[in-house]
Structure 1
């Protein structure tokens, strides 16, 4: 989008809008009403995935939203809480519902700017973060933001303006230079640049993946060769500071460059000299050098071993704190039900008539 907006580089400014507490602020009843309407307008597409009617899907969604509970273990007692407003951040449908509602909320975003005397050349949104190319004075921008906040009492946005023709958006730093936008990797001031030490007790492929993820971001985000080279040099220094050999770092960077180049040209990866059928993957605890020996022997019989940590922080801290639902309250389970006619137990959840 930025590359196609060269005509607006000098006439507009970059503005970032952030929706405060988006998930808890979504008006659920309005969102369900919008979803119900869209489901009715797309009956044919809905029928391809379910036999339920649009109203039934919307009603089920409403039941799930209105009955979102959390349990906290307080000593020997359990404290139950029910969420009364907004969407739960842990639900799988929450991002979809929030996205549909925010699409409705932003429909007249450009019209409101025009009514205030400004102009929105383009805008995009990722989750709750907007990037806007805005043309207008500070007073016009302030009036426009106030109108956005008055649209819905539950939705409130804050603004960040560019400084010295630069604006960070997510993990990208956008700069206006001459007649084009330039981008590079952005790091917050609180970033500590911590990575797994090369001597850490983990499989080598995870260490290599840490380098490749940083390298991929540098190649994709940096629009100039100078910024890209500076970022790659920074990656080399960062990982070398944590004990990574230079040859190991350079090998991972070169492999990343090759893979991205082939992907950009839509070319398949070069075939391996030794073609074998897809191996069977087995996950086992990581055991240091012994794991690599076992991995080599297993590969000879077509088994690929994948390491996993034997003990994780989550298993140590959350195993006892997390509330577990009793089995009789779980779904997708066939229960053994005692018949009220006193004829004895009946299996498979089928109760005969008494």
Structure 2
């Protein structure tokens, strides 16, 4: 399944439910307890340590692509996700589990985010839900407080975060059962956005914050948008790794013309494109991403003249002009074109008309 697809975890869970059903039905010895969360299982095996290896081998032989690893309790303790299960006088107890690599680093209080109170509340709430004894809960609360103080959290925030919340508190007076909650989304600005949210709360307006400067936004744009690629009526250049380049003209968007060249290259139709013929004959790599516009011209006749002119001043071009221009005119053409287009052929910027 595709990573990140909302459908993937649902189908994966359906598959694993079918898998574990077959696995347990087909083995003679059964676990006393089998609990699974996504792909992690917590199992109580009542048949002795000498038989558990056979059960693991059975699981790993059901599907070639599904392989389990196993961790057995040590010192009457076994971690499962972020919960540490341990025996106390034969009774299972639970508390928070932290990996040995845990650094205790959380969102620093000086960070320009609006979720800092939520971070603290989440840690305290987790301790309340996971710790099975009051002593373990109090010890975990002290540990959380120490960790968050090292991350810059003031005591007043920690006191608010660790205070139990009453989910039955009445709504603000401005809201009634028939009143619909209004939600507004505003950019997050440290110090200002919090004040606006407090004002909105007085009038029953729910305020949500957003920012466009996210990690996703900065990392998922592999290549910047190039508006010039959609320009019509232009003379363009496509370079090859050998240093030569193809000069052409088109009345359609440049990206459409480039895709046509690429399709011909994939099909190996060398007779329809000198650029493709060059790539196949010489086994060269065409730099498709570096295709650029070197001039714009609305009129077809003038566009073909400009195409021929650029070919005349380009050393050893791959393409052939549709109109012939004598080499004797090359110095004059070069001078005139530089006045009109103050960039050299091969530049990736777009010159003025």
Q: Same fold (TM over 0.5)?
A: yes
**More strand by proportion, 1 or 2?**
1
50, 59, 71: which one aligns with 1:139: 50
Give the corresponding residue for 2:156: 247
Structure 2 residue matching 1:159: 3-state secondary structure: coil
Following superposition, the deviation at residue 181 of structure 1 comes to 0.6
Counterparts of 1:165 and 1:302, CA distance in 2: 52
Following superposition, the deviation at residue 138 of structure 1 comes to 3.1
Relative to 1, partners in 2 of residues 1:280 and 1:179: Cα closer, same or farther, differing over 3 Å? same
Counterparts of 1:288 and 1:179, CA distance in 2: 51
Following superposition, the deviation at residue 322 of structure 1 comes to 9.6
Counterparts of 2:128 and 2:117, CA distance in 1: 17
Check if 1:212 corresponds to 2:121.
Answer: yes
Following superposition, the deviation at residue 183 of structure 1 comes to 0.5
Structure 1 residue matching 2:70: 3-state secondary structure: strand
Give the corresponding residue for 1:328: none
Counterparts of 1:171 and 1:298, CA distance in 2: 37
Contact 2:187 / 2:210 at 8 angstroms: preserved in 1?
yes
145, 162, 165: which one aligns with 1:258: 165
Contact 2:185 / 2:207 at 8 angstroms: preserved in 1?
yes
Structure 2: runs of 5+ lacking an equivalent: 226-353
Contact 2:181 / 2:205 at 8 angstroms: preserved in 1?
yes
More moved, 138-147 vs 206-215: 138-147
Check if 1:312 corresponds to 2:211.
Answer: no
Q: Summarize deviations over 1:197-245 as a string: whole Å, max 9, x none.
A: 2222223xx1111111111110010001111001111111111112211
Relative to 1, partners in 2 of residues 1:99 and 1:197: Cα closer, same or farther, differing over 3 Å? closer
Greater relative contact order, per chain length (Cα 8 Å cut-off, separation 6+) = 1
106, 124, 141: which one aligns with 2:35: 124
110, 131, 148: which one aligns with 1:199: 110
Report the count of equivalent residues: 224
Relative to 1, partners in 2 of residues 1:319 and 1:133: Cα closer, same or farther, differing over 3 Å? same
Give the corresponding residue for 1:180: 91
Q: Summarize deviations over 1:115-166 as a string: whole Å, max 9, x none.
A: 3xx5411101111111110023333111221122222222221111111111
Counterparts of 2:203 and 2:71, CA distance in 1: 58
Structure 2 residue matching 1:202: 3-state secondary structure: coil
Structure 1 residue matching 2:161: 3-state secondary structure: helix
Largest Rg, 1 or 2: 2
Counterparts of 2:72 and 2:10, CA distance in 1: 28
Following superposition, the deviation at residue 88 of structure 1 comes to 2.4
Check if 1:97 corresponds to 2:4.
Answer: no
Following superposition, the deviation at residue 111 of structure 1 comes to 5.1
TM-score by length of 1: 0.57
Contact 1:215 / 1:253 at 8 angstroms: preserved in 2?
yes
Give the corresponding residue for 1:274: 173
Contact 1:284 / 1:307 at 8 angstroms: preserved in 2?
yes
* 1:14-53 → structure 2 map (5 Å cutoff): none
Contact 2:183 / 2:207 at 8 angstroms: preserved in 1?
yes
Q: Summarize deviations over 1:65-101 as a string: whole Å, max 9, x none.
A: xxxxxxxxxxxxxxxxxxxxxx223333332332233
Structure 1: runs of 5+ lacking an equivalent: 1-86, 263-268, 324-354
Contact 1:161 / 1:167 at 8 angstroms: preserved in 2?
yes
Counterparts of 1:124 and 1:298, CA distance in 2: 44
Contact 1:286 / 1:310 at 8 angstroms: preserved in 2?
no
Contact 1:112 / 1:144 at 8 angstroms: preserved in 2?
no
CA RMSD of the aligned region, Å? 2.7
Give the corresponding residue for 1:190: 101
Counterparts of 2:189 and 2:212, CA distance in 1: 9
Relative to 1, partners in 2 of residues 1:321 and 1:227: Cα closer, same or farther, differing over 3 Å? farther
Structure 1 residue matching 2:132: 3-state secondary structure: coil
